[in-house]
Amino acid sequence: MKRLGIAALMVLLSACGREAPATSCDLSATQEISFTNADAPDTLVVQSLGPSCDKAIGLITLRTAEGYPAWSWSGPLSHRFGDAFGAEDYEHMQTFLEAWSRPDIATTQSAPAWTALTSGQTTLDQLTYEDVRVRNLPMLCHFSGTARQTCVFWEPAAGGAGHLLERDTQENE
């Protein structure tokens, strides 16, 4: 019995010298949006995942009303948005996620004409880009960096979203 008491005391004493484990920055925000089907809202979930907010990865997941994944994007938030978040900046991160979960919804006709694009803005060839634009498909643009947006279009025939372009947000003003 004496050995059991000593062992329990050793465990308690060893726990006293340890620091409390760091709290992770696993936060999220969810929005229902109309992108793939005006009659059945999609679900957009944005998340920060990481051991701390300054080391978090951002993840966007868009699912159709039936639960099928339609689009996802991820990136290290510190590389995309700079040092905007401190290690324990949970409130600021949650505010960011709430804003990030409200993308711009438009149609592809509002995308710039092919002749207005700069090098690297799209991975599509001219014929495909112009076809998508003229068909006036649903377009969703979400932040993908400081003053930067990624825009995707919904292709109903394929049942999926495709990457349309990257743009500076100043282009929209």
Cα–Cα distance for residue pair 115/12, rounded to 1 Å: 70
Strand segments (E) across the chain: 27-33, 42-49, 57-63, 69-76, 104-107, 138-145, 148-155, 160-168
DSSP 61: E
Band of residue 82 on the pLDDT scale cut at 50, 70, 90? confident
Q: 71 and 60 in contact (C-beta within 8 Å)?
A: yes
100: pLDDT strictly greater than 50: yes
pLDDT in tens, 111-127: 999 999 998 999 999 99
Q: What is the pTM of this model?
A: 0.82
Neighbours of 60 (CB within 10 A): 21
Joined together, the tokens standing for residue 19 give 């620091």
Question: For the residues 4-27, what does the mean pLDDT come to?
Answer: 55
Residue with the larger pLDDT of the pair 172 and 77: 77
